[in-house]
Structure 1
């Protein structure tokens, strides 16, 4: 009886090359890129939406800041020449107005006609401060009727401060 030849000698009981089982299992299949394309598109859309939101928010904050600055400027008294035309907060005061003493001895403004130069219907609320040598002598509040765009009306003015005679400066600001 003949015996089969012995297997080739393998030290330490190793299998011949190419016959060893992989300790890591099957390698992943390559070629399926659809998932990565979909994830890339979703990520791009999210990035675009977030970026747009940040831009819109930034524009909103800038517009609010501009409105605050404009309102602060309207609330700061600025000098006007008595009787001369001036513009304040999109209202134009026609020339010919005067600061006078009313029937009970208080400050008053007569002949003040205001025109609305904005595109909205609005009412003027103006505060005139009368000065002598940087000292406030009195304040006069003037209001108009509700004015549509390009409408005018004579302002109604009143004061509770006694007319003190000579003054050298008049400033105007928003009442509130």
Structure 2
């Protein structure tokens, strides 16, 4: 039979509940290796490890740039300037077209203006010199010739009694262009000895201007 165990001292747990005392070892003798490393190195059972600290918003590690792909230290992608160059190219093309259009318009209008002035001067000189037949054939549009016969035209010019003393002056000259058709309105006065004759011509055409309307009458 085993010997009965001695009762424990008051306030102490029974011997079967007390933790075992590690055996003593001589000075300098190495102890048993620790299984879990240094105290506090690993979390206690049931606890999660503390998360690694993250930089606060607006902060980033030194020498690194924020990456849209989550890779630290990646340089930000360079912004493409293709769209800017496309916009500049479109704007430049539009401005070029506008400039070309203005130049062409000025050339067309300027050419029509010079042509209309030259037509008015040549036509009036023929009337003053009495060459009404040539003026009728060379300057009047066929549609105007249908409304005004050659004889009526000659009789009307003769009634004005113009001679070599008459000098024309063109006070107003307007030129326009629409749908490829050029038009010119010429107005002025023929000054003779003791009288004046008002004139108003209208020329129209594409390549060549022809007179479609004429007015000659003594000025009051």
TM range (shorter): 0.3 to 0.5
Q: Which has the larger strand fraction?
A: 1
Per the normalisation by structure 1, the TM-score is 0.41
Larger RCO, structure (CA 8 Å, separation 6 or more): 1
Q: Which has the larger helix fraction?
A: 2
Q: Tell which structure's C-alpha radius of gyration is larger.
A: 2
Per the normalisation by structure 2, the TM-score is 0.34
